[in-house]
Amino acid sequence: MVAADPGLMLLAVASSGAQVRMALDAFDALDPAALNRLDDDGRPRGVVISGMGGSGIVGATVAALAARTSSVPVVAVNDYQLPAWVGAVDVVIAVSCSGETEETLSSAAEAVRRGCRLVVVGARDSSLHRLAVSVPSALFLEVDARGRMPRASLWTLLTPVLLVAERLGVVAGARPALVEAADRLDEIAVRCGLEVPLEVNEAKTLGLALAESLPMVWGTGNVGAVAAYRLGCQLNENAKMPVVVGALPEASHNQVVALDGSLSTSSESELDDLFRDRVSDPDPTSQLRLFLVRDSDEHPRVAIRATIAAELAQSRGIEVVTLQSGHGHPILRLVDLVGVIDWASVYAALALGVDPSPIGPIVALKQRLAH
């Protein structure tokens, strides 16, 4: 597995707990006067978090963590432009691991023109850093990704944004939860690491199940939904797989009908026919498998929908795999899910014989855009 992972994606995933601790230390080393500027205009009307790809997941994650408790709306933007309503009473947080993402640069520049309070998370000496330096009131938070790709630097990027969100009154209790999250991520790394055999390694088992199917991934609750989205994105980039991602209850109004499609395993009559010719059976990697990513803080009716959806899938010969978060702070529930998901996505790539690190189509697209 190490030989099949020359980009060291497994090592990057194993560093998740360390990423949290390093980001906490870096935040604590900031000039207090710079942090105090965040409070100069009081609580914002809204918080907008701009980013793309592996950096963009930060906005969706903070929005999910804040959804149930914050009186201040948190909106993730994955685009060149900010929503029309964003103005001087709002905070815009621009996140780009490289500091060179053109969509994020565009939205950050627009935030400056509109007079928003600006927070920048990115690499030093980048275009985004230079933009932040040009605005006296802006707060710059340097990213130390240590050569990791953005998708492998989730906790490096997310931790400072959560600390800012805590200061703005958006995510309560972020710091103590992050301290505990670092330890929990280390525990997951021990359970899911390379040395742990398949039969007792939840991430290897999940990765193999993902690799052997066309995954349909549904999340429940705010945390489960963003974790499901994370799983889809990680499989896209690491395993180079197509994935169907949804969230309950919405997915039960549309995507559920795909359970009756041509990619389901077989009809009930075929399942009962022990003597049918299996040579013509479809490749298992082209067949649906339903993955439920469940947050313990899910609406009671959503819990019922998830149970019924699993029964409907199983009655059609579609295997169902469930990931379940524990209880407690939403950051810790996120760790329960994403901590395993990130390992599993790399194992899925290795099971398929795919190098998880290269992102050829993204590189090619950027080269074409540059011309």
309, 256 contact by CB (below 8 A): yes
> In order of start, what are the domains of the chain with their CATH numbers?
9-182 (3.40.50.10490), 196-273+281-351 (3.40.50.10490)
Judged by DSSP in three states, 139 sits in: strand
Residue 140 sits at φ, ψ, to 5 deg, of -105, 130
Residues 99, 103, 108, 110, CA torsion sign: positive
Q: Tell me the per-residue pLDDT of 230-266, one tens digit each, with 9 for 90 and over.
A: 999 999 999 999 999 999 999 999 999 999 988 776 5
pLDDT of residue 267: 45
Q: Tell me the per-residue pLDDT of 319-346, one tens digit each, with 9 for 90 and over.
A: 999 999 999 999 999 999 999 999 999 9
155, 185 contact by CB (below 8 A): yes
Q: Tell me the per-residue pLDDT of 12-47, one tens digit each, with 9 for 90 and over.
A: 999 999 999 999 999 999 989 888 888 777 889 999
